[in-house]
Amino acid sequence: MPSYRAPIADIMLALRATGLAEVLTLPGAEDVCEDLVEAVLSEAGKLAADVLAPLNAPGDRQGSRLENGTVRTPDGFAEAYGHFVDGGWTGVPFDPEYGGQGLPWMVGTALNEIWQAANMSFGLAPLLSAGAIELLDSHGSAEQKAQWLPKLISGEWTGTMNLTEPQAGSDLAAVRTKAVAAPDLGDGVYRIFGSKIFITYGDHDLAPNIVHMVLARISDAPPGIKGISLFIVPKTLPTAEGGLGAANDLRCVSLEDKLGIHASPTCVMAFGDQGGAVGYLVGAANHGIEYMFTMMNNARLGVGVQGVGQAERATQAAVEYARARVQGGDASVRGGPSVSIIHHPDVRRMLMTMRARTQAARLITYLTAAALDTAKRHADAALRAEAATRAALLTPIAKAWSTEAGIDVANLGIQVHGGQGYIEDAGAAQFLRDARIASIYEGTNGIQAIDLVGRKVLRDGGVAARALASELAAIAERSAATLPGLQAPLADGLADLEAALEWVLSHPDAVSAQAAATPFLTLFGLVLGGGLLVEQAVIATAEAEKAAAATTAGFFLRHLLPATAGHLATIRAGAADLVALHEDAFVAA
C-alpha cells in the first residue's frame, strides 16, 4: 500500500483560512500559538506515518475477530494504541481539569484528519471516545465527571455509543432496551436488559475497560423518543478507588462481516443475560435523546473528517501512481516519447478533482470546528449563541458533503490506477471500501440533508444560511483585486444558492422539503467549499503556496461549481416525479 504523509502545510493553510488566529484569542486558548499548533500536528504526522499507516493494509486483511468470547484486534493495533495513549493524543482538545490539554477543537479536528487518513479503522476508537467525553462533560454530574472523564481523556479507557437496535435504526423512538431501577445498588443505578447492533469498538483488546453510553427505556416511561434515557454502562465495574472490579453483565455476541473498516470491530452487544448490566443514569430520566445528540453531533463532524482523511489518502496514492506509471505520449507533442500518466489531460482532470474536493471538504470541517470553539469559549454570550447556530448549520454539511467527497475521491483514485486499482494489492480499493460507511453511520447523508432543510433552514427562515452566504459574497469581493477571475463564478454559485433557498422557504411542506433536501445540501456544500477555497487562496502568502491555492480554487469554481445549476433545477422540479409511481411499479415484472 502507498505510504501516507500528513499534509502539514495544507492543513495549516486551511486552519488559517477558517479562523485559527481568531480562535487562538478565545479564553483558554491565549497561550496557544500557530507555531505550537504546527509542532503538535507534525508530531502527530510522525506517529501516523511511522505507526498507524503501516498497519492499515495488514489490519484490513486480518480484521478483528471474536475468539472465545473476546474480541481481538489485528496484530499491532494494541501496541499502536499504547503509543497513542502515551502521547496523550485523546486528551488534546479536552478540559485540563480532567487531564486534557485544552487545545481548541480546530486542532483536535486537524489531528482527527491525520488519524483517519493514516488508518480509519484505528481512528474510530478515539473518535468514539471523544464523543463520550463531550457527552459526559456536557451532561454528566460532578461525580460522574470525576469518575469517568480522567480515564477516558487519558485514553486508558475507551468509549462507545449504543443506539441502534434491529428494529430501531434511524427511528430511535423504537428503542426497546429497558432499564429497571436497582435501588439496592444506589440512587440512579439501573439494570439494563436488551441488545444493540452496529456498535463500533463495542469490545476490543486495546484498553482494559470500555465505557458504553447506552440508550434505554425506563419502566413506565412515556412512549416514543420522550421516554428514552441515557446510561453509562461499563464493560467492567469500577471500584471505589477507581480501579477495575467485577465484570459487568454484557458481552459481544458477534462481529459484523463488513465491506470495509475490517480492523474496526463492529459488535452485536447483549446486555443483561445474567441478571442485568449495571448502568448509571446520566442527567434526568427521559432526556436520553437530547443528551445523546451531543455525542452524535460530535461524531458527525468526526465522520465528516473521515471523509477528508480517506480523500487525502486516496489522492496521495493516485498522485504517486500517476507520477510513476509511464504510458502513452504527451498529447502536446506529436510522436514524442512515452510519459508518466500525470501528463495526460484526463488524468489531470481526475487528480485536480480529487485535490479540489479534498481541500474543500477539509475547509468545511475546519470551519465547523472553529464555530464550535467560538460557541464554547467566547466571553460574549450573544456571540456564543450565534456561533452555536453557525455550528448547527454547518454540521450536516460537514458530515454529508465531506463523506460524499471521500467516496467520490476514493472512487476516482481507483480510476487513476486503471486495472491496478481494481486489484487489492494496489491499496486504492481499500480507501473506497473504508470511505463508503461514512455516508451511512451517524445518520445517513439523507437524514443530514433533511436536518439541514427542516431543522436549520426552515426553522429560522433561512437567516443563518443567508448570513453565511453573505460572508461568502464578501470573500468573492475581496478576491477581485488579487485573484481576478474567481469572483464571477463564485457569484454565480451564490445566486444559485439564494434561488435554492427561496424555493425551499416557499415550499415548507414535508414532502417538498425532503425531496429537495439532498440536492440542496449538495449545492450548499459546493458553494461553501468554493468560497472557502477562494479565501484560502486570498490568505496564502508564500508565492508557490498562493499559486497552487489559486489554481485549485480556479479549477473548483470553473469545473465543479457550475453543477449548482443542475442541482437548482432538480430542487425546482419538486417532488411530483419522485412520488408518482405506485410502489408496486418498482417490482420487476
Q: Which residues are part of the catalytic machinery?
A: 442
Instruction: Report the candidate in 570, 309, 301, 571 with the shortest Cα–Cα distance to residue 443.
Output: 301
Expressed in angstroms, the distance from the first to the final Cα of the chain is: 45
DSSP notation for 121-145: HHHHHHHHHHHHHHHHHHHS-HHHH
Measured CA to CA, the distance from residue 41 to residue 34 in angstroms comes to 11
Instruction: Report the candidate in 113, 521, 560, 168 with the shortest Cα–Cα distance to residue 356.
Output: 560
Angle in degrees, 0-180, between the axes of helices 120-139 and 142-154, rounded to the nearest 10: 160
Measured CA to CA, the distance from residue 541 to residue 539 in angstroms comes to 6
Q: Cβ distance 282 to 311 under 8 Å?
A: no
Q: Cβ distance 384 to 371 under 8 Å?
A: no
Measured CA to CA, the distance from residue 250 to residue 272 in angstroms comes to 6
Torsion of CA 451, 391, 491, 527, to 10 degrees: -60
The set of cell numbers assigned to 417 is 490506477
The set of cell numbers assigned to 572 is 425546482
Angle in degrees, 0-180, between the axes of helices 510-539 and 345-377, rounded to the nearest 10: 100
Instruction: Report the candidate in 54, 90, 64 with the shortest Cα–Cα distance to residue 264.
Output: 64
CB within 8 Å of 78: residues ≥ 6 apart: 205, 206
Measured CA to CA, the distance from residue 5 to residue 252 in angstroms comes to 35
